[in-house]
Chains A and B, each alone.
Chain A
Amino acid sequence: MSLLEVRGLRLDLPAPSGAIRVLRGVDLSIEPGGSLAVVGESGAGKSMLALTLLGLQPEGADVRGSIRLLGRECVGIGDRAMRRMRGGGIAMVFQEPQGALNPVMTIGRQVAEGPRRRGLGRGAARALAGEALARVGLDPARYPLDLYPHQLSGGQRQRVMIALCLAMRPKLLVADEPTTALDATVQAGVLALLRDLAEGEGMGLLLVTHDLAVAAAMTERVAVLYAGHIVETGPTAAVFARLAHPYTRALAAARPGLDGGGGVPIGGRMPSPRNVPPGCPFAPRCPRADDRCRAEMPPLAAGADGHAVACFHPHGRGT
């Protein structure tokens, strides 16, 4: 049984000027202990996808399709049932630990809060919090449980956020740009920690990032999201070796390299989800687009190695 199985997921947000179509038929799956990176620019719908998986989509959003977590359907099950799923089943690390942590509550109490709500006694929850904080490198001997978030650095706050999830022993950890707000050297430490935990606890990892290199380092599989569609997905090594979709390739070329290469801007802008043109959403920016691309959306066609591309004119190996 898959840990997470998402099929045909659609998300519309109501707006006075007509629905905003944020997710437009997303399929993805993660095996137990597996890892997947969802890569894309801001506005592609990555964060909204992460929130929807946890049932935290904005109020009034219209969610259709299927999200099966540990074999149980999560779409349309209501707040109470979803709350039970969160924590033990699925937990999320947000981009900005400052915003996600309570500034007037000690880190020990915040980490213990989840287990307490599950009915664990105060002493046991506190012990569990100490353990979780030690697991993320904040040994209570050096970082007492009664510290407040402002007494910690940005990287340490992100570790508290991870400990908070960890204390609930989730089967799947969703991390939305967990290192974007951090320094390059601190980023490496937090990524290493997430990898350690995923392997050590047998936890599945869904990582949302705009940085292809973070995906390269962290996950076995990758899915590239563009304007609410997955345009390319497959084993990370295969996707990076080919960069078959013109968008994936443009994203790779935009990234500055140490050798002074890269840094090539992608011309144009992602279409607004309020006003989506027919056909492939990347066509207006794509050097390979023709009339067919502008008229019909290419299906996500899978090859033998599980590498799938939604493009009528994909790049081959080395082209």
Chain B
Amino acid sequence: MQFSKGRVRGGDGSGPSEGHHEARGPASADMPGDVPFDDPWYDALSSGWGEPSTVAAPVPAARQGQDDDVAAAEVYLEVQGSPAFQEVRSRYRRFVVPASVAFFLWYVAYVVAATAAPGFMARPVAGAVNVGLVAGLGQFLSTFLLTWAYARHARLRRDRAALELRWDTQELTRGARGGAA
């Protein structure tokens, strides 16, 4: 299940590239979270993506519509409904929604406490350090920790599945547009 950087740069849009068929399939939706892998996005260019030539298993092939855009729209609807995409989306939301609510409430609580309860914030903790300073530095610390946790979660739990979907979707849209032309 290793991605090679050569594949990213080397694909010419027509021929099948090595290491591709093993890397896809239904298993891509629930790959284990702790598998280390090469970073296939890093230093990949914005253009010149290697285009896979085969249609992916987790995403059903698009019907060929009369109109290019209608066909492409169908592709996006079908990808959206596919289990692989639902899994990526729910992984993203399961992390981002609780984390956003948590840091926002923690920040609002901090601001409200600083304005409404300065006496509490002035309570000494150790030496010159009081509750307010601890809470302020706590905001810095929680920001750094959440940043680290989010980056790790995205790297391990989302990136690879999202990249698979990106290639599949681009191939399907190209197929849909090409088929109608």
Do A and B make up one complex?
A: no
